[in-house]
Amino acid sequence: MDSRAASGGMARRTFLAASLSGIAAVALSSCTWPPPNPTPTSTPTASPKPIPGVPEPTAMRRSKWAADPFARGSFSFDAVGATPELREALGEPVGERLVLAGEACSTDAPGTLQGARDSGLRAAAHLIRLGGPGERVAVIGAGVAGLTAARELVDAGFEVVVVEARDRIGGRVDTVADPAGDGVAEFGAMFIGDDAGLELELAAADIDVHPTPGTTLVRTVDGAIVEPSDAGWQAIAAAQAWARGRSEDVSLATALAASGVLPLPDEPAADGTTPADWLRHALASGVEPATGAAPTRVSAQLFDATRPAASGAFVTGPLADWLTGLAEPLDVVLSSAVVRIAYDEERVSLRFDSGESLNSDRVVVTVPLGVLQTDTIAFHPTLPLLHQRAIATLGMGVVDTVRMRFDEPFWRATAPPSAQPTAGPGAEPGAETTEAPIFLSIVGEVPAVAVWIDVGAASGTDEPVLVGLIAAEQARRLEQVNDRDFRKAVLPGLAPFATGAG
């Protein structure tokens, strides 16, 4: 773990010496939280079957967000039956003592750093309205939402302690040592939305922020560069139009099947691709990375087809530096998992997995939606029915990242002017561009990696580094295999780029 990601926190042994006077800790019955599965994993020996043109990476690390007990996924998505009102309700105070925060509470930018930050600001505003300076507030979770809320509350005169289950701050922002031992890399949040204020804040903290690139290089299975088609996105738009005319929500997959959109014509174009190929491409390289879920789970009415193409800027790191700055004046207690939250009209009591407890006047709960959907934390009394409905209805998606470093950037080749964005219906095939392609994808089959990002080209460093996004069921499946089998599953997806780069 990068040591910077853990700065700003106290070890458990210093918990009882926290500088908030009057907060008592007493012995309670011990509960056990499962130990976290380390997010990055190191690379063992090389795969025994080399792929023509694709060398073995010299270094590799990958994330496992679904298996992480403190996350249970990467970010929320609009599952069938979800509504913006449910997200809004999830962030409303429970009585006057408890409020939830996190990207799942955001109606404007769920699943992004922007959404997490905005929800932290909103939660702090609620407690500032309900309480007053000098009150003690416990903030559960030292991610973006928790640290943002804590800083706002401290600035407003509240006494705040942040408690975090992990042994580092950051939550789903995970800055670790680069697999080649040079610098750091992000294995969690990468896209920040379109919040210009947040982008400026990150830039002020010397965080590398890059506009989402305007070009995507698409190759067929045999390595030929093809001009992107919007046939798949047109089919999705037609299915969504049909779904929005219904009184009840259905999944995107159901809308495609029941709306009469399918089957798409199977007559290949001059480049050999068919409309059906482009629909599969839109689903695998657009819908699934944007939601972390299969089309069978995504709401046809609410899925925003412009989101993949308008994800704002992305970050190449190190976000831990920004979060360390946020945490600098805060009391942060690490390695302390909350297992019970009891609240009434006068106070809040937290119980930890160690058996210790902590009393406060109010609490901000920023644990991820995936954790709320388990029985890891018991609320007493139970949360209101609308909050429970929001937690049960919203989905938790999974998008894992793999970072691979090679000796040479074998995948780089000059793309023709027609190589244009394919992530959404805003793509304009045929428009002139001089941008180098940053995103790489394949049409004609569904590879294990939905999209590859050429990090060296994006940052201007020309480093031979690729970051792959692995989404939905592919991510869950590959989290279960060892690194050797993982590489065996994902490296064939780079063969078309090796074939065409020469």
pLDDT for the residue 9: 41
Q: 443: number of CA atoms within 13 Å, CB side?
A: 29
Q: Specify the pairing of strand 451-454 against strand 75-77.
A: unpaired
Closest CA to 141 of 121, 119, 165, 122: 165
Tokens 């069921």, residue located:
473
Q: Tell me the CATH number at 262.
A: 3.90.660
pLDDT for the residue 353: 96
The token pair at 405 is: 């470093």
Q: Tell me the CATH number at 345.
A: 3.50.50.60
pLDDT for the residue 44: 46
Do 92 and 194 belong together in one domain?
A: yes
Residue type, 168: R
Q: What are the residues whose beta carbons fall under 8 Å from the beta carbon of 392, sequence distance 6 or more?
A: 373
**HEC secondary structure over 356-419:** CEEEECEEEECCCHHHHCCCCCEEECCCCHHHHHHHHHCEEECEEEEEEECCCCCCCCCCCCCC
Whether residue 279 lies inside any domain: the answer is: yes
Whether residue 428 lies inside any domain: the answer is: yes
Rounded to an integer, what distance in angstroms lies between the CA atom of residue 261 and that of residue 270?
A: 23
Do 387 and 404 belong together in one domain?
A: no
Rounded to an integer, what distance in angstroms lies between the CA atom of residue 358 and that of residue 331?
A: 14
Do 334 and 448 belong together in one domain?
A: no
Per-residue pLDDT tens digits of the chain, which is 502 residues long? 333 343 344 333 222 222 222 222 222 222 222 333 434 444 444 444 677 789 999 999 999 999 999 999 999 999 999 999 999 999 999 999 999 999 999 998 898 888 999 999 999 999 999 999 999 999 999 999 999 999 999 999 999 999 999 999 999 998 887 766 566 778 887 777 666 777 778 877 888 777 665 568 999 999 999 999 999 999 999 999 999 999 999 999 999 999 999 999 888 999 999 999 999 999 999 999 999 999 999 999 999 987 655 455 677 668 888 899 999 999 999 999 999 999 999 999 999 999 999 999 999 999 999 999 999 999 999 999 999 999 999 999 999 999 999 999 999 865 444 444 444 444 444 444 445 678 899 999 999 999 998 888 877 788 899 999 999 999 999 999 999 999 999 999 999 999 655 4
Domain boundary among 396, 411, 442: 396
pLDDT for the residue 265: 87
Cβ neighbours, 10 Å, residue 463: 19
Whether residue 55 lies inside any domain: the answer is: no
Do 119 and 199 belong together in one domain?
A: yes
Whether residue 85 lies inside any domain: the answer is: yes
The token pair at 144 is: 């973006």
Whether residue 27 lies inside any domain: the answer is: no
Rounded to an integer, what distance in angstroms lies between the CA atom of residue 433 and that of residue 117?
A: 34
Do 9 and 122 belong together in one domain?
A: yes
Do 253 and 344 belong together in one domain?
A: no
Do 284 and 324 belong together in one domain?
A: no
Domain boundary among 357, 381, 396: 396
The domain containing residue 425 runs over which residues? Answer: 209-298+399-501
Rounded to an integer, what distance in angstroms lies between the CA atom of residue 12 and that of residue 30?
A: 15
Whether residue 30 lies inside any domain: the answer is: no
Q: Nearest 10 degrees: CA dihedral of 39, 314, 101, 332?
A: 60
Rounded to an integer, what distance in angstroms lies between the CA atom of residue 18 and that of residue 319?
A: 26
- CA 145 remoteness from chain centre: 13
Do 466 and 411 belong together in one domain?
A: yes
Alpha helix ranges (H) inside 131-229: 144-155, 196-204
Do 103 and 200 belong together in one domain?
A: yes
Rounded to an integer, what distance in angstroms lies between the CA atom of residue 305 and that of residue 290?
A: 9
Whether residue 68 lies inside any domain: the answer is: no
Torsion sign (Cα): 140, 87, 39, 33: positive
Q: Residues 272, 153: contact at Cβ < 8 Å?
A: no
Do 9 and 108 belong together in one domain?
A: yes
b/e string for 50-67 if b means 16 or more Cβ within 10 A?
Answer: ebebbbbbebbbbbbbbb
* Beta-bridge partner residues of 54: 51
DSSP state of 289: H
Domain boundary among 396, 422, 452: 396
Do 228 and 342 belong together in one domain?
A: no
Whether residue 91 lies inside any domain: the answer is: yes
Total of domains in the chain: 2
Distances (CA, A) of 335 to 7, 38, 63, 104, 320: 13, 14, 20, 24, 18
pLDDT for the residue 438: 83
Do 218 and 328 belong together in one domain?
A: no
Q: Residues 418, 128: contact at Cβ < 8 Å?
A: no
